[in-house]
Every structure is written in structure tokens, then in C-alpha cells.
């Protein structure tokens, strides 16, 4: 016999608040509106988001899509309750990939899942996503907020991002890369968003806490490790549109070792000059505490180089000057050469 339940249950009784979700949408609308750009047809709140490529100025576009997350860097944000930059990381991991095909990021959608939707922290997280969109010139036109008690603990959350960009037909990169081309490295903001499972293990070995003074910076250890991934879109787009860049490699998982060779034609490789830039302090500290060998460092982290541009040697000075004027710190870090495996010269770990 089925037991009759005389209590009237609601979704809120199960741990999901529809009204809090509605309040969140209202609270983030001003931030989302600041990201609006040409091509956006409608605002937040519909079942789908519309975008007009013709209105965005494209004649014969090819769409480029990218999706990514932030990884276990989120755990540091959760444990320190510092959500000011984690959304910028999410956007950067997607849009920095898009420009590696020559594409301009046009719009972005986010997926935010949590055990308990807390209006204040959720607003900070999604507002930081909107800030990342604003800094990279794309519009936050939609997303999904999922409150899932039982699947996530109360304070836990996860983020995923989805970016769509466009490039005119014939301008897709990489293309025309040849032996002798120069490799221009754009400095990173630190660790960015890869390798944090190893980072957290090393912090544990160090005996430090997130509130400890940073051994390599002026903030707390947690704050220094949460510095947002650098956005390279706006400095690179003019060079892409003027055909000054043959290829771009976003240095994420796999580090310098695996990401540069991804964009090179068969039978070509890269020689990287490790003496041409200084290893950031965070990596010296991680290497010292964790006993990391140089090859492990170069394969796991960005080692201070967040993006690598392949350019014709004749355009090398012009490209470096343009990027410097746009606020980037740049180095000539190597060259394209014949071969099948990446080559290193010099020494990064001194």
C-alpha cells in the first residue's frame, strides 16, 4: 500500500529556488548589457540567443566554435571565496583558442552549475564572465544556471564556456608557415588555467595556506594564484586582419612542448630559445618546492608564455612593435625549422 503524503512539497523544499534564479538573471543584466556588440539581435531571457553575422560586418564568414572550463583552479576560488576573476579565466580559455584560427570572438554562453544558488557569489562569478567578454569584444548573450543539490555540495560549483567567432573565408590560420619563420611569445599573467592539480599538490607540500604571504608576489598565495588568464584577442586582431600572422598557438594544457607543434605543417618543428625570456617567479617557486624538471615544467605549464605567434621574419619587428604598443610584453622565443620534434636551446631553470 502506498503511503499518502499529506504535505504539499515545492521545488524549494527539494533545494532548488526558482525565484533566486530569476533574481540572478535580473542582477546580471546590466553587466551583460555592457558586452553588447554589433550583430546581437536580442537580450537575455529567451529560449535561444540570436546573432546577425551580416550586421556584424561579415561578407562570407566561416564560424569557429570553442568550449572549455577552468579546471581545478575553481577549488582555490571556492576555498578562498574569491570569485572576482574566475569568470575572466573561463572566457579567456575559449576566446584565446578562437583567435588561433584567425577568428574574431562574437558571442559567449556560460554554464554555471552549483549545489546551492547563492545570489551574491553567483552574481560575482557571472559578472566576471561578463567582464571577460567585455575585454575581448564579444557579447554574453545567454547561458544556463543549474542548481543541483545532491550532485554538488552546497558551496561547490562548476563552470563551462562556449564561444563562437567568425573569420572571412580565406583568412583562416594557420597557413603558409615555412622554415625560417619567427616565433613571437606573448607573456602570460602567471599560471593561467592549466596544471592546477599539480599546483595544489605543491602548495600542500609547502605547508603554506591560501592566506599565507605569496613567496613570489605581493599578494596572498591564493590571490596570486587566482590572477586571471590574460586575454590576447584585442592586441592580435588587427595583425590578423592585416595578414601579419601566419599562426597562433595558445599555450594551455601540454605547455610549450605540445602546443606550438600543433599548428606547424608536417616535417616542420620549432626551435625554442629558452634564454630569451625570464621564468616568472611562480614557476621558480613551484619547481623548487615540487622538484620539477625543466621538461616537466615546459610540458605542464605555459612557463611565462601564454600565446605564440608565427610570423614571417621580415614582419618580426613590426609585429613585436604593434603588440608592445598594445600593452603586451613580447619576446622572440624561437624559429620554425625542419624536423619532427621540438628543439630547445638554452636553459629556463637557472
Q: Give how far Cα 310 sits from Cα of 33, 186, 259, 301, Å.
A: 35, 11, 12, 20
Exposure of 4 in the CB half-sphere (CA atoms within 13 A):
1
For the entire predicted model, the pTM comes to 0.93
The class that CATH gives domain 12-168 is alpha beta
Q: From the centroid of its chain, how far is CA 74?
A: 13
Most confident of the ranges 13-17, 112-116, 182-186 = 182-186
Higher pLDDT, 47 or 114: 114
Residue 136 has pLDDT above 80, yes or no: yes
- Look at residues 168, 338, 171 and name the one whose alpha carbon lies nearest to residue 245: 171
- Averaged pLDDT for residues 85-104: 98
Residue 4 has pLDDT above 70, yes or no: no
- What burial class does residue 258 get, using C-beta atoms within 10 Å of its C-beta: 0-12 exposed, 13-18 middle, 19+ buried? middle
pLDDT at residue 20, rounded to an integer: 72
- Look at residues 315, 302, 178, 193 and name the one whose alpha carbon lies nearest to residue 249: 302
CATH 3.90.650.10, applies to 182-345? yes
Residue 17 has pLDDT above 70, yes or no: no
- Look at residues 109, 117, 131, 102 and name the one whose alpha carbon lies nearest to residue 30: 131
Asked whether 130 and 140 are in contact (CB, 8 A), the reply is yes
**β-sheet bridge partners, residue 213:** 220
Residue 6 has pLDDT above 80, yes or no: no
Query: Angle at CA 125, nearest 5°, toward 120 and 126?
Result: 100
Q: What percent of the chain is modeled with pLDDT above 90?
A: 81
- CB contact burial 10-42 (16+ within 10 A = b; e otherwise): eeeeeebbeebeeebeeebeebbeebebebbee
Residue 219: count other Cβ atoms within 10 Å of its Cβ: 13
- Averaged pLDDT for residues 221-237: 98
- Average pLDDT for the chain: 93
Listed in order, the ranges of the chain carrying CATH 3.30.1330.10 are 12-168
Listed in order, the ranges of the chain carrying CATH 3.90.650.10 are 182-345
Amino acid at each position: 500500500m502506498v503511503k499518502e503524503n499529506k504535505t504539499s512539497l515545492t521545488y524549494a523544499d527539494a533545494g532548488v529556488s526558482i525565484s533566486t534564479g530569476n533574481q540572478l538573471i535580473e542582477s546580471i543584466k546590466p553587466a551583460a548589457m555592457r558586452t553588447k556588440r554589433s550583430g546581437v539581435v536580442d537580450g537575455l531571457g529567451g529560449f535561444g540567443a540570436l546573432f546577425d553575422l551580416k550586421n556584424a560586418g561579415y561578407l562570407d564568414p566561416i564560424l569557429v566554435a570553442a568550449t572549455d572550463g577552468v579546471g581545478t583552479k575553481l577549488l582555490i576560488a571556492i576555498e578562498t571565496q574569491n570569485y572576482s576573476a574566475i569568470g575572466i579565466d573561463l572566457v579567456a580559455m575559449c576566446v584565446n583558442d578562437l583567435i588561433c584560427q584567425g577568428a574574431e570572438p562574437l558571442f559567449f554562453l556560460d554554464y554555471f552549475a552549483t549545489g546551492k544558488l547563492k545570489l551574491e557569489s553567483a552574481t560575482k562569478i557571472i559578472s566576471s564572465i561578463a567582464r571577460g567578454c567585455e575585454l575581448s569584444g564579444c557579447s554574453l548573450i545567454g547561458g544556463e544556471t543549474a542548481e543541483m543539490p545532491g550532485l554538488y555540495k552546497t558551496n561547490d560549483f562548476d563552470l563551462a564556456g562556449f564561444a563562437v567567432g567568425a573569420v572571412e573565408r580565406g583568412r583562416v590560420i594557420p597557413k603558409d608557415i615555412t622554415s625560417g619563420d619567427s616565433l613571437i611569445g606573448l607573456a602570460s599573467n602567471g599560471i593561467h588555467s592549466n596544471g592546477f592539480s599539480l599546483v595544489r599538490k605543491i602548495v600542500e607540500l609547502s605547508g603554506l595556506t591560501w592566506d599565507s604571504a605569496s613567496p613570489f608576489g605581493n599578494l596572498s598565495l591564493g590571490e596570486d594564484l587566482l590572477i586571471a588568464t590574460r586575454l590576447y584577442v584585442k592586441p592580435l586582431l588587427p595583425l590578423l586582419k592585416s595578414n601579419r600572422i601566419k599562426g597562433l598557438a595558445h599555450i594551455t594544457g601540454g605547455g610549450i612542448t605540445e602546443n606550438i607543434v600543433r599548428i606547424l605543417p608536417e616535417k616542420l618543428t620549432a626551435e625554442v630559445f629558452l634564454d630569451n625570456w625570464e621564468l616568472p617567479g611562480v614557476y621558480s617557486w613551484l619547481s623548487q618546492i615540487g622538484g620539477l624538471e625543466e621538461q616537466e615544467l615546459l610540458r605542464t605549464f605555459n612557463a611565462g608564455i601564454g600565446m605564440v605567434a608565427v610570423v614571417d621574419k621580415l614582419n618580426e619587428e613590426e609585429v613585436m612593435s604593434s603588440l608592445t604598443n598594445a600593452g603586451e610584453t613580447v619576446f622572440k622565443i624561437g624559429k620554425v625549422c625542419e624536423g619532427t620534434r621540438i628543439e630547445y636551446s638554452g636553459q629556463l631553470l637557472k
